[in-house]
Structure 1
């Protein structure tokens, strides 16, 4: 795991999923739940998804290591649509993996670093080898990181709006204590010189979608 949870301290590029960044690798062993079952690694979940045979899937899920799961995955008969769905399968698995709070926080701690699965075993689809490769694993991880941030921002907006709405309902009903509101929400004169509640102004902007969540309200 990263030695620091401060995204500002993250490197510009992470090109090896080892050491403190080993958690980014599919071979990292960290239990998570996907489709109602517990998986020891994202590698095991991915390899098991290659087949529609439930017995083979369970065999791969019970593999003693991610490497063993990969070996078993090479022996199964691939489902007919595998090449078409494998990217979506990987995304779904990694969404489940990084829903685990510790792993989610570690991913966010990579900041805006470019994530590249550099390797020496010739995988130029999921990673990069010898300067060549599509880096689909790294790209997927960066998309997940962006989506986690976006959801967190939306949750903050919703929480902010709920608090503002509670305060502003008091103002609209005439039950707002202006002495208290002045300290907690803020008042200023509008263009006509009349007292105007800053919280109410920000709420209206939030509801229109043009307010920034950094608008300060001293709670």
Structure 2
């Protein structure tokens, strides 16, 4: 049986294995992780730790993700997600970035293009964040070989869990 950690941007600060839907065979294995405040939130796409990605700086993975989606329809508006823009959005947290995801309406063709690129873009942005952010890199390393699952929400309520295999790969880079 594999150890499993479940996280999201508002995860409770509980010991490894004590989170919702988690399981851990040997809690002692994660003693160092347990000493990190809000370690699950660090794994979230909303965790603020500025990093450079494709020529711009983003506060969170969510900023980079939404910016590149918006760029399919409006590259100028997409830049407002960057730190360099100096906008409240670009300097804000992941919640602001997620709320701005509907800044433009994508055409059906743009949505189809987005669907083909979003997973690889997420993974690429995560690599950039974890290279730049020592805290996040350390937390990721401390998760050992546990499966990492992100709890997705819609309208503030849990909707599904998605395994973040890209983080599991980054952990071993």
Q: How many residues align?
A: 129
Once the two structures are superposed, what CA deviation does each residue of 1:145-196 show, in whole Å capped at 9, x if it has no partner? 23x1xxxxxxxxxxxxxxxxxxxxxxxxxxxxxxxxxxxxxxxxxxxxxxxx
Aligned to 1:48: 67
How far the C-alpha of 1:139 sits from its partner, in A, is: 2.0
Q: Secondary structure at the match of 2:151?
A: coil
From the two aligned structures, give the one with the greater strand fraction. 2
Q: Which has the higher contact order (CA 8 A, sep 6+)?
A: 2
* TM-score of the two chains, using structure 1 as the length reference: 0.52
Which residue in 1 is equivalent to 2:51? 32
Which residue of the other structure, out of 49, 71, 78, is the alignment partner of 1:57? 78
* C-alpha displacement of 1:101: 5.0
Instruction: Tell me whether 21-30 or 72-81 shows the greater mean CA deviation.
Output: 72-81
1:110-141: CA deviation from partner (whole Å, max 9, x where unpaired)? 10111111244379xxxxx46x54x15x2221
Please say if 1:72 is aligned against 2:91. no
Residue deviations 1:71-120 (CA, integer Å, cap 9, x gap): 21223233351011111111110010111251222211110111111244
How far apart are the structure 1 equivalents of 2:93 and 2:41? 15
Asked if the contact 1:50–1:82 (Cα under 8 Å) also holds between the matched residues in 2, the reply is yes
Q: Where does 1:1-219 land on structure 2 (aligned, <5 Å)?
A: 12-17=3-8, 18=11, 19-52=38-71, 53-61=74-82, 62=87, 63=89, 64-78=92-106, 79-80=110-111, 81-100=113-132, 102=134, 103-121=136-154, 129=158, 132-133=160-161, 135-136=162-163, 138-146=164-172, 148=173
Distance 1:106 1:30 in 2: 13
Stretches of structure 1 that go unaligned for 5 or more consecutive residues are 1-10, 124-128, 149-219
Q: Residue 61 of structure 2 contacts residue 126 of structure 2 at CA under 8 Å; is this kept in 1?
A: yes
Q: Alpha-carbon deviation of 1:143?
A: 2.2
Scaled by the length of structure 2, the TM-score of the pair is 0.65
Partner secondary structure for residue 116 of structure 1: strand
